[in-house]
Structure 1
Amino acid sequence: MQTTLSEQAKRLPRAEEAESILRSCVHCGFCNATCPTYQLQGDELDGPRGRIYLIKQVLEGNHVTEKTQLHLDRCLSCRNCETTCPSGVDYHNLLDIGREVVDRAVPRPLDQRLLRMGLRAVVPNAGLFKTLLSLGQSFRPLLPDAIKCKLPRQIHPAKARPTQRHTRRVLMLEGCVQPALSPNTNAATARVLDRLGISVTPISQAGCCGAVDYHLNAQEAGLNRARRNIDAWWPSLESGAEAIVQTASGCGAFVKDYGHLLKDDPAYAAKAQRVSALTKDLVEVLRDEPLETLGVHSDLRLAFHCPCTLQHAQKLGGAVESVLIRLGFNLTAVPDAHLCCGSAGTYSMTQPELSQQLRDNKLNALESGQPQVIVTANIGCQTHLDSAGRTPVRHWIEMVEDALH
C-alpha cells in the first residue's frame, strides 16, 4: 500500500515501523472473512482492512474524529486477521501505534475516561482486586445484574503447593486477577509440574505483565511494568531457571512481546529479548514431558476454548488439545474455534454489547458437542464465558490435576 506519512507522523518514535506495516498490506480483504467484529457489524471500518485504512489516513495527516476512535476501540486485538493474512501484516503493532495517536487527538468523554482509569487502577493491582472481589461476593445479592454477572459463580480454593525442590526449576508469573478469580490454577500447575520433576518458583516482586495499561493506551506505564518484571526475574534467570511459565495466555503473549516493545531501550533491550525467549505457555512445557507417567484418568467430556492469545498471538493452536488427548481426555468438536469469545482483556467492560454477542456465539459453538466442562487457557476467557451461567468453565490444568492418581 502506497503511504506518505505526514511530517508530524514522521516524528513518532515508531514511525518507520508503522510505515513498513502499512506498506505490507495489499488490501486483499482476506482478513475481514475471519474478523469477529466485521462478522457482527458488517461494516468495512469494523474489519482489519478498514481499520488499517483509518490509521493510514491518521498518519498521513487527515482529520481525526470520534468515529475513527470508535472503530479502533471496537477491535478486539484478537489477531485472527494476522493468522489469515497472506502478506504477514503485523496488524496488532500498527493498531497500538494508531490508537495512541488517535487518543492524543480525540479526548474521550468523562465516563470513558473514568472507566479506563478505574480499570487501570484496579485490574493490575492484585491485592486491591482481591479485596474488591471479596466485597463483591459478600454483597452479591444486592448488586445490579451488570456487576453481579462479572463475579465468578464459584471460586475453587487453591490446594497446597509442593514443597520439594527439584534440580529443574521454572519461574511463574502469578498474575493480577487470576489469584483471586481462580486461585487453584497456579497451584494445580505447580503440583502437576512437581510430578514431572520440575519446581515452580513464584517471584513475588513480579506483578502485572503490563498488558492492561498498554492496551488501554497507557503504553509507557505498561512498559514500566515490563521493566519491573524483568528486574524481578533476572537474578533467577541468571542462576539457572529454565523458563518463565505463563498459565494465562494473555500474559504470555504480552511477555513474549517484551523483546520487540523494548528493542529501542538500551538498558533493557537485551534482557527483554532473553525474557521473551524464555517465556513459555504452560502447554509448551508439558508437551515436551513424559506425560504418560502422570497416570491421568478421567471420563469427563471436555470442550476446549483456545484463546486468541494462544492460537493467534502465540501460534499454539491445537497444542493444548493434543496434550489433553495424549492424557486420555474426551474432547468434543468445536465449530468456528478460531473466533474470539469477546473477553479480550478489558473489552468486555469497554464494549459490553459486542462482547456479550461474541460470548453467546462462542458458548453455542462450545456447547454443541454437549461437554460436561468447558476448559480454556486464559483467565479472561474463563471468567467471561462462565459469566453466562451455563456450562462450567475451568482452566485445563485443573482438570489434569484433578485426574492425577
Structure 2
Amino acid sequence: MQTNLSEQAKLLPRAEEAESILRSCVHCGFCTATCPTYQLLGDELDGPRGRIYLIKQVLEGNEVTAKTQLHLDRCLSCRNCETTCPSGVQYHNLLDIGRAVVDAQVPRPLGQRMLRESLRAVLPRPALFKALTQAGQIFRPFLPELLKAKLPSQAAPAKPRPEPRHARRVLMLEGCVQPTLSPNTNAATARVLDRLGISVSPIREAGCCGAVDYHLNAQEKGLARARQNIDAWWPAVEAGAEAIVQTASGCGAFVKDYGHLLENDPLYADKAKRVSALAKDLVEVLCEEPVEDLHMNGDKRLAFHCPCTLQHAQKLGGSVETVLRRLGFSLTDVPDGHLCCGSAGTYSITQPQLSRQLRDNKMNALESGNPEVIVTANIGCQTHLESAGRTPVRHWIEQVEEALN
C-alpha cells in the first residue's frame, strides 16, 4: 500500500515501523473473513483492512474523530488476521501505534477515562485486586447485575507447592489476577513440573507483565513494568534458569514481545531480547518432556478452548491438544476454534455487548461435543467463559494435576 506520512507522523518514535507495516498490506481482504468483529457487525471499518486504512489516514494527517477511535477500540487485538494474512502484516504493532496517536488527539469522555484508569489502577496490583474481589463476594447480593456477572465464583484454594529440589530450574510469572481468580493454577504447574524433575524458582519481585497498561494506552507504564520484571529475573537468568514460564498465554505473548518493544532502549535491549527468548508458555515446556511417564488417569471428556494469544500471537495452536492426548484425555471437536471468545484482556469490560455475543457463540461451539469440562490456557478466557454459568471451565494444567492424583 502506498503511503505518504505527514511531517508530524514522521517524528513518531515508531514512524518507520508504521510505514513499513502499511506498505506490506496489499488490501487483499483475506483478514476480514476471520475477524470476529467484522463477522458480528459487517462493517468494513470494524475489520482489519478498514482499521488499517483508518490508521493510514491518521498518519497521513487527515482528521481524527471519535468515530475513528471507536472502530479502533472495537478491535479485540486477537491477531486472527495475522494468522490469515498472506503478506505477513504485523497488524498488532500498527494498531498500537495508531491507537496511541488517536488517543493523543481525541479526548475520551469522562466515563471512559475513569473506567480505563480504574482498570489500570486495580488489575496490575494483586493485593488490591484480591481485597476488592473478596469485598465483592461479601456484598454480592447487593451489587447490580452487571457487576455480579463480572464477579467470579469462589475459587478453590491453592494446594501446597513443592520446595525447589531439582538441578533443573525455571522461573514462573505469577500474574496479576490469576492468584485470586484461579490460585491453584500456578501451584498445579509447580507440582506437575516437579514430577518431571523441574523445580520452579519463585521470583516474587516480578509483577504485572505490563500488558494491561500497554493496551489501555499507557504504553510507557507498560514498558516500565517490563523493565522491572527484567531486573527481577536477571540474576536468575544469569544463574542459568532454563526458561521463564507463563501459565497465562496473554502474559506470555506480551513477555515474548519485550525484545521488540524495548529494542531501541540502550539499557534494556539486549536483556529484553534474552528474556523474550527464554519466555515459554507452559505447553512448550511439557511438549519436550516424557509426559507419558506421569501415569495419568485422564478419563474425562474435555473441550479445549485455544486462546488467541496462544494460537495467533504465540503460534502454538494444537500444542495443548497434543499434550492432553498424549496424557490420555479424550478431546471433543470444537467448530470455529480460531475465533476469539471475547475476553481479550479488558475488552469484556470496555466492550461488554460485543464481548458477550462472542462468549455465547464460543460456548455454543465448545459445548457442541458435550464435554464434561472446558479447559483453556489463559485466565482471562477462563473467567470470561465461566461467567456464562454453563459447563465448568478450568485451566488445563489443573485438570492434568488432578488426574495425577
Match of 1:344 in 2: 344
Match of 1:51 in 2: 51
Match of 2:163 in 1: 163
Secondary structure of residue in 2 paired with 1:7: coil
Q: State the Cα distance separating 1:119 from its structure 2 match.
A: 0.2
Match of 2:235 in 1: 235
Distance 1:391 1:85 in 2: 34
Aligned: 1:19 with 2:19: yes
Distance 1:141 1:285 in 2: 43
Q: State the Cα distance separating 1:149 from its structure 2 match.
A: 1.2
Contact 2:79 2:308 in 1 (8 A): yes
Higher deviation after alignment, 65-74 or 160-169: 160-169
Match of 1:283 in 2: 283
TM-score, structure 1 as length reference:
0.99
Contact 2:170 2:245 in 1 (8 A): yes
- 1:25-62 superposed Cα distances (whole Å, 9 cap, x missing partner): 00000000000000000000000000000000000000
Secondary structure of residue in 2 paired with 1:132: helix
User: What is the 5 A alignment of 1:301-316?
Assistant: 301-316=301-316
Secondary structure of residue in 2 paired with 1:399: helix
**Which runs of 4 or more aligned residues in structure 1 lie more than 4 Å from their structure 2 counterparts after TM superposition?**
none
Aligned: 1:300 with 2:306: no
Q: State the Cα distance separating 1:240 from its structure 2 match.
A: 1.1
Distance 1:396 1:67 in 2: 40
User: What is the 5 A alignment of 1:124-143?
Assistant: 124-143=124-143
Match of 1:398 in 2: 398
The letter of the residue matching 2:383 is T
Secondary structure of residue in 1 paired with 2:63: coil
The letter of the residue matching 1:379 is I
Match of 1:326 in 2: 326
Q: State the Cα distance separating 1:143 from its structure 2 match.
A: 1.2
Q: State the Cα distance separating 1:141 from its structure 2 match.
A: 1.4
Distance 1:87 1:44 in 2: 19
The letter of the residue matching 2:376 is T
Contact 1:153 1:389 in 2 (8 A): no
Q: State the Cα distance separating 1:164 from its structure 2 match.
A: 4.4
Distance 2:154 2:297 in 1: 24
Distance 1:393 1:142 in 2: 26
Match of 2:94 in 1: 94
The letter of the residue matching 1:302 is L
Aligned: 1:197 with 2:210: no
Aligned: 1:269 with 2:253: no
Secondary structure of residue in 2 paired with 1:207: coil
Q: State the Cα distance separating 1:188 from its structure 2 match.
A: 0.1
Distance 2:143 2:48 in 1: 37
The letter of the residue matching 2:315 is K
Structure 1, unaligned runs of 5 or more: none
Match of 2:104 in 1: 104
Match of 1:84 in 2: 84
Q: State the Cα distance separating 1:152 from its structure 2 match.
A: 1.6
Secondary structure of residue in 2 paired with 1:170: strand
Secondary structure of residue in 1 paired with 2:150: coil
Match of 1:66 in 2: 66
Distance 1:368 1:177 in 2: 30
Distance 2:12 2:340 in 1: 31
Match of 1:145 in 2: 145
Distance 1:31 1:75 in 2: 13
Match of 2:42 in 1: 42
Secondary structure of residue in 2 paired with 1:381: helix
Distance 1:82 1:286 in 2: 26
Q: Give the superposed CA RMSD.
A: 0.6
Q: State the Cα distance separating 1:154 from its structure 2 match.
A: 3.4
TM-score, structure 2 as length reference:
0.99
Higher deviation after alignment, 296-305 or 270-279: 296-305
Structure 2, unaligned runs of 5 or more: none
- 1:220-270 superposed Cα distances (whole Å, 9 cap, x missing partner): 000000000000000001011110000000000000000000000000000
Q: State the Cα distance separating 1:169 from its structure 2 match.
A: 0.4
Contact 2:363 2:385 in 1 (8 A): yes
The letter of the residue matching 1:295 is H
Count of paired positions: 405
Q: State the Cα distance separating 1:339 from its structure 2 match.
A: 0.1
Contact 2:164 2:200 in 1 (8 A): no
Distance 1:372 1:299 in 2: 10
